[in-house]
């Protein structure tokens, strides 16, 4: 008797709790779609920031109000200043990524597909990757001066290692049984690389690509601190001279949006290229 | 005319001090269905891998194999990034590959899964795709490496029937490696028991198909083979 009572009591308790919890949840889910609910707290923070600025709690020298930031962004866009700086920055990232990604892919293919290639390439790459590449800035300035070259080189360097490491390990991580099956069914070495090894390494390489893009933005931010006379970094540095925190925030927002955009791009590529993966088939 | 008999002579394989195959000799008649039984470590997988060309044959061995060879492994080993039909014709060249894949897939009852991703197939469907991939090559020698071991019992029964039907239709020399005595007797016309790197028993199965476990001859063969494998059964009757 007491046993049955003990067994049912917790369940009643849980049901009661669930009933009590479910009311607020019903209200929020009615008011805002689930996807938008994530943005509620950031929005609240921005409103708080705006209110604090308007009340004079945050001085414009410390941080401009969100409304000022938006206004400045609009102004800079209309004047063509922001788009032209953006183009310069995008050009640097584009050139650096093109060089860095190609270098990473070529080195990973050489090291991944041949033993001798691994002996030659992998050891120095593993050593170099432990170096925080941003620490190379002084050396790059000595080597390449203060023009575009050190900026692009830094972006390229930042993008090379993630792609190299992930593609190399992806190639080496190929399921040997699949390679064996490919051999039995008549694939030659080239066919094995094309139909088995590279597709198997692709998921890992795409993760590397995402890291590479993140690393490229970071390199860009640092590189544009080096005596730039155009680009988003220049816009930020220039604004600092005139205590224009609003423009600094605009620059930071642009950096953030570029990063988000790059990430979304890789996700799109993943969805297309990895359509065969079980997790993506259902979605 | 080319002689399509499979001949192996003097095949020895050693891994370290361990002799896996001990100057093994073997002959399989064209179009025959043979099962290769053995305990784990008896060398049956090594023999099959050598016949498939996956393990190198030593120079002193004589291997005379019907070609082309096709293999179905214990796991389907489909490339997950290729659609079912592309998996079937992997490594093949020429025109109308999709049509050939479709014909082979229809034969194994998967005619409607041409464009499916392998990850969406059930275990039995994946293994049937693997069979289609083997068949589309019109093999003279079909090697099956415990292809049904990972399937559930009901699927396995269906796969047995399918394999027999395909074998009857295409008549490849077929060698199935298994550790399941029932499976061997159910499918094959000849059962070899491998022990210590040599063929320890060579039993002809002269039962008409479809075969039934309840058949007294089946039971006798079963006992005989189990005994060759070192398992003695105490029969009640």
Domain boundaries of chain B, sorted by first residue: 6-77+139-228
What is B122-173 written as a DSSP string? -HHHHHHHHHHHHHTT--SEEEEESTTTTS-HHHHHHHHHHHHHHHHHH--E
Q: Which residues of chain B have pLDDT under 50?
A: 1, 236-237
A196: nearest CA partner in chain B: B79
A-chain residues near B90 (CB < 8 A)? 182, 185-187, 195
Distance CA B169, CA B167 (A): 5
CATH code for the structural domain at A66-282: 1.10.3720.10
Per-residue pLDDT tens over the stretch A153-189: 999 999 999 999 999 999 999 999 999 999 999 999 9
- B-contacting residues of A 187-206, CB under 8 Å? 187, 191, 195-196, 199-200, 202
B53: nearest CA partner in chain A: A184
Instruction: Confirm if B21 and B11 have CB atoms less than 8 A apart.
Output: yes
Q: Which residue has the tokens 């003097």?
A: B10
Per-residue pLDDT tens over the stretch A17-39: 555 555 555 555 556 777 788 88
Contact check, Cβ <8 Å, A187/B91: yes
Contact check, Cβ <8 Å, A186/B91: yes
- Give just the sign of the alpha carbon dihedral A201, A203, A204, A208: positive
Per-residue pLDDT tens over the stretch B136-172: 999 999 999 999 998 999 999 999 999 999 999 999 9
Interface test with B, best of A183, A185, A279 (most B CBs within 10 A): A185
Phi-psi domain of B96 (left: phi exceeds 0; alpha: psi -120 through 50; beta: other): left
Using DSSP, state whether A260 is helix, strand or coil.
Answer: helix
Domain boundaries of chain A, sorted by first residue: 1-32, 66-282
Q: What is the pLDDT of residue B32?
A: 96
Instruction: Confirm if B145 and B75 have CB atoms less than 8 A apart.
Output: no
Which of A108-112, A179-183, A227-231 has the least mean pLDDT?
A227-231
CATH code for the structural domain at B6-77+139-228: 3.40.50.300
């Amino acid at each position: 008797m007491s046993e049955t009572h003990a067994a049912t009591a917790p369940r009643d308790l849980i049901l009661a709790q669930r009933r009590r919890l479910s009311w607020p949840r019903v209200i929020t889910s009615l008011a805002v779609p689930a996807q938008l609910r994530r943005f509620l707290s950031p929005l609240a923070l921005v409103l708080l920031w705006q209110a604090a600025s308007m009340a004079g709690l945050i001085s414009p020298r410390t941080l401009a109000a969100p409304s000022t930031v938006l206004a400045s962004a609009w102004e800079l866009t209309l004047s063509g200043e922001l788009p032209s700086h953006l183009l310069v920055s995008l050009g640097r990232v584009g050139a650096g990524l093109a060089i860095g990604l190609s270098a990473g892919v070529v080195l990973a293919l050489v090291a991944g597909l041949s033993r001798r290639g691994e002996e030659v390439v992998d050891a120095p790459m593993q050593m170099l990757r432990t170096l925080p590449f941003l620490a190379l800035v002084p050396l790059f300035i000595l080597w390449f001066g203060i023009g575009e070259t050190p900026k692009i080189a830094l972006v390229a360097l930042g993008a090379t290692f993630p792609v190299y490491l992930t593609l190399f390990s992806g190639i080496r991580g190929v399921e040997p049984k699949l390679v064996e099956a490919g051999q039995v069914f008549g694939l030659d070495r080239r066919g094995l690389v094309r139909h088995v090894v590279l597709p198997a390494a692709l998921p890992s390489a795409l993760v590397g690509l995402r890291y590479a893009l993140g690393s490229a933005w970071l390199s860009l931010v640092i590189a544009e601190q080096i005596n730039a006379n155009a680009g988003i970094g220049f816009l930020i540095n220039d604004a600092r001279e005139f205590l224009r925190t609003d423009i600094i925030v605009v620059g930071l927002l642009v950096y953030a949006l570029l990063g988000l955009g790059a990430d979304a791009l890789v996700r799109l590529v993943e969805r297309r290229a990895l359509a065969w993966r079980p997790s993506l088939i259902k979605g | 005319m080319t002689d399509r008999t499979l001949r192996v002579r003097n095949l020895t394989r050693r891994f370290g001090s361990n002799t896996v195959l001990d100057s093994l000799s073997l002959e399989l008649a064209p179009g025959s269905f043979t099962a290769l039984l053995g305990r784990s470590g008896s060398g049956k997988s090594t023999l099959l891998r050598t016949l498939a060309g996956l393990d190198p044959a030593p120079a002193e061995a004589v291997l005379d194999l019907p070609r082309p060879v096709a293999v179905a492994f214990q796991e389907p080993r489909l490339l997950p990034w290729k659609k079912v039909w592309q998996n079937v014709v992997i490594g093949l060249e020429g025109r109308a590959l999709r049509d050939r894949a479709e014909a082979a897939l229809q034969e194994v009852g998967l005619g409607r899964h041409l464009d499916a991703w392998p990850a969406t197939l059930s275990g039995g469907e994946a293994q049937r795709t693997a069979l289609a991939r083997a068949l589309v090559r019109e093999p003279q020698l079909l090697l099956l490496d415990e292809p049904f071991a990972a399937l559930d019992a009901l699927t396995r029964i269906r796969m047995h029937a399918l394999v027999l039907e395909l074998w009857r239709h295409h008549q490849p020399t077929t060698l199935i490696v298994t550790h399941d005595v029932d499976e061997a007797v159910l499918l094959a016309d000849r059962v070899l028991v491998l022990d210590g790197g040599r063929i320890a028993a060579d039993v002809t199965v002269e039962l008409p198909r479809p075969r039934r476990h309840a058949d007294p001859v089946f039971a006798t063969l079963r006992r005989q083979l189990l005994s060759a494998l070192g398992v003695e059964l105490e029969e009640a009757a």
